[in-house]
Structure formats: structure tokens, C-alpha cells
Amino acid sequence: MDIELKPVNRKNWEEALALQVLDPQQGFVPAVAVSLAKIYIKPDGEQVEYIPFAIYDGNRMVGFIMHAYEVNTTDGYWINGFLIDAKEQGKGYGRAAILQMITWIQSQFPQCEEIRLTVHKDNRIAKTLYSNLGFAETGNWFGDEEVLKLDVLSNQEVKRRERDEMSQINIHRSSSEEAQTVRTNLIKFNAQFIAEDLQQNYKEINLHIKDENDEIAGGINSVFCWNWIEVDILWVDDRFRGRGYGSRMLQEIERIAREKQCTFIKLNTFSFQAPVFYRKHGFQEITRIDDAPRGHQHYYFIKYLE
């Protein structure tokens, strides 16, 4: 990760306008266009100046953040319009960008003693992020937006405490029960963003075919999750390859997926397995990883269901 804040200008403003948050987050932050409009309209008063930044990881724009400030004050420094693009979330960009913004404000305005921002009352993830970075409640609200503040003078102490806490973290091997706890907690986290009618959609769908001796000749292991089915394993014994066993099992999974009103089926395979087979059945390559394993390719496929 190589996070850098670059001013929004005539070269990158159109790309910035295309940044979008996830659908459930739409009411939490203004669109980039609204934030940029503030520079001209000055809704907070003539005394407030705005500086918009695009957040980059290398050459890729991943988000937007804006600084609003009042000249010759010690507490008139705000972080506005902060967002990470939907497809870039969950990669640590949010925390890194906020820390960059704090550092930039401190370097540009040494008189700054306090940095403020607002967070929507339902945006629990952002509230947790800001709290972990040292922002505290002020008791003030703008409608559904709570005002938080960071005491800049104590920020260095916050960073020191974080370093101390990190040094005390011990990583352990998980038992099956502990691993299940991690899984359960992630499921709870995901449920905040998933439509209610999809939340209970999780079930393993495993099928197999037997030969005349009642021995397993092939099988397919998959998971029905939310609005798709993911095929984990499709295997056919060498004795029965070329007889349509794999095709028949894949067709059955597709039938089940349509029955459950899935939007797509996804799977992965290696170059020494069956990429040609899946293309034959209407799957499209999403991406591939070279040299995985060494000398081969790892393919990811998807088939959208009409």
C-alpha cells in the first residue's frame, strides 16, 4: 500500500466524480460532486476554505477526502466528504487516508489544536474507525451527523499508545472452535450490509454420481451463498471422463441455482484442470493468476444466469 493525497484538479476531477460507496452507505456521505460544489457555494460561510484531495494507492484513485478550515483559528479544522470507493473497501485505505489527512493538517497549520469531523448516527464502522484513531464525542450534532473531535496535542500520545498495544499482541493458532468464532463474527459483520431476504441464504450443496459397483465416480461440492452458488470442487474419476459426468453435475448445479433465483455461479480452476471445460459451459474468465502453482495458472470464472 502506497497511500498519497493528491489535490483534485482539472486532470482528475472526472475520475473523482465516478467514486461511489456501497448502496447501504449512500446516506452516510455526500457524493464527490456535492463536496466539490461546496468550494464555490461556501455553505459554511465565506470564512471557510476547502481543499479537496483524491486518495491514491500508487497510480490508482481509491477514494476522496476534503479539508475545510477557518484561517487564524485553533479549532476550525475539519475533515469532510471522506469516502473510499466501493470496490476498494476492506483494504485498510480508510485508516491510512485519515492518518495522512491528520498529518497533512498538522504540517500545514501548526496552530491547529483540534480537528473535527462528523459521522452519521448509523455509520457504526466509521464511528469505530474514528474512535480508534482518537476522535472523541463532543455532544454536538448536525441533524443525524454526530460531531467528533481529535485533540491534536494528545495525538502523539495516542500513536505511542497504539504502538505499545501492537507490540503486546500475541498471535495464536486457532482451534476449530476458535476458528468458528471468527467465522460467526464475520457473518454478523456482513449481515449489516446484506439485504434481509438474503441473510439466511447459506447452505452446502454437495452432489455425487456412483458407478455400477456403488462407488463414487464423481462429485461436485458447492455452497449456496446469498444470491449465488460457488463451486468449490468438481471431480470425475479418470475411468469416467469424457462420458458427460462433469457436464451433468454442472447442469444440475445450474438448475438448482436458477431454482433458488441466484444471479450467478462462480468457481475457480487451474490450467491443468478444466478451464476449457468451463468455457464450453458458458463460464467467462474474470481473472487469472500466473505461476500459481509455479509453471501454471489459476483461473477464476463466472456465469451469469439470465
Model confidence over 202-237: pLDDT tens digits? Answer: 899 999 999 999 999 999 999 999 999 999 999 999
Single-letter code of the amino acid located at 208: H
Q: How far is CA 7 from CA 30, 37, 303, in A?
A: 18, 15, 40
Strand order in the sheet with 136-142: 3-7, 48-57, 60-70, 77-84, 114-120, 145-151, 136-142
Phi, psi values for residue 115, rounded to 5°: -115, 135
Which of 111, 84, 110, 88 shows the shortest CA–CA distance to 98?
Answer: 84
- For 176-196, give one letter per residue: b (16+ CB within 10 A) or e: eeeeeeeeeeeeeeeeeeeee
* Number of other residues whose CB lies within 10 A of the CB of residue 44: 15
d(CA 32, CA 16): 7
d(CA 70, CA 50): 9
Q: What is the pLDDT along the chain (306 residues), one digit of tens a residue?
A: 789 999 999 999 999 999 999 999 989 999 999 999 999 999 989 999 999 999 999 999 999 999 999 988 989 999 999 999 999 998 999 999 999 999 999 889 989 999 999 999 999 999 999 998 889 999 999 999 999 999 987 766 656 666 676 677 788 899 999 999 998 899 888 888 888 888 888 899 999 999 999 999 999 999 999 999 999 999 999 999 888 999 999 999 999 999 999 999 999 999 999 999 999 999 999 999 999 999 999 999 999 997
Altogether, the residues listed in the chain come to a count of 306
% helix / strand / coil in the chain, to the nearest 5? 35, 35, 30
- What's the pLDDT at 168? 74
Single-letter code of the amino acid located at 290: D
Which tens digits make up the pLDDT trace of 126-147?
Answer: 999 999 888 999 999 999 999 9
CATH of domain 196-304: 3.40.630.30
Ramachandran bin of 215, using left for φ above 0, alpha for ψ from -120 to 50, beta for the remaining angles:
beta
Strand order in the sheet with 228-236: 202-210, 216-225, 228-236, 264-270, 297-304, 284-290
Q: Residues near 174 by Cβ (< 8 Å), separated by ≥ 6?
A: 182
- What's the pLDDT at 196? 85
Identify the CATH assignment for 3-167 out of 3.40.630.30, 3.90.1150.10, 3.40.50.720, 2.60.40.1080: 3.40.630.30
User: What are the residue boundaries of the structural domains of the chain, listed by start?
Assistant: 3-167, 196-304
Same fold, 3-167 and 196-304: yes
The helix-helix angle for 93-108 and 124-132 (nearest 10°) equals 50
Model pTM?
Answer: 0.54
Please name the residue that has the C-alpha cell 487469472: 288
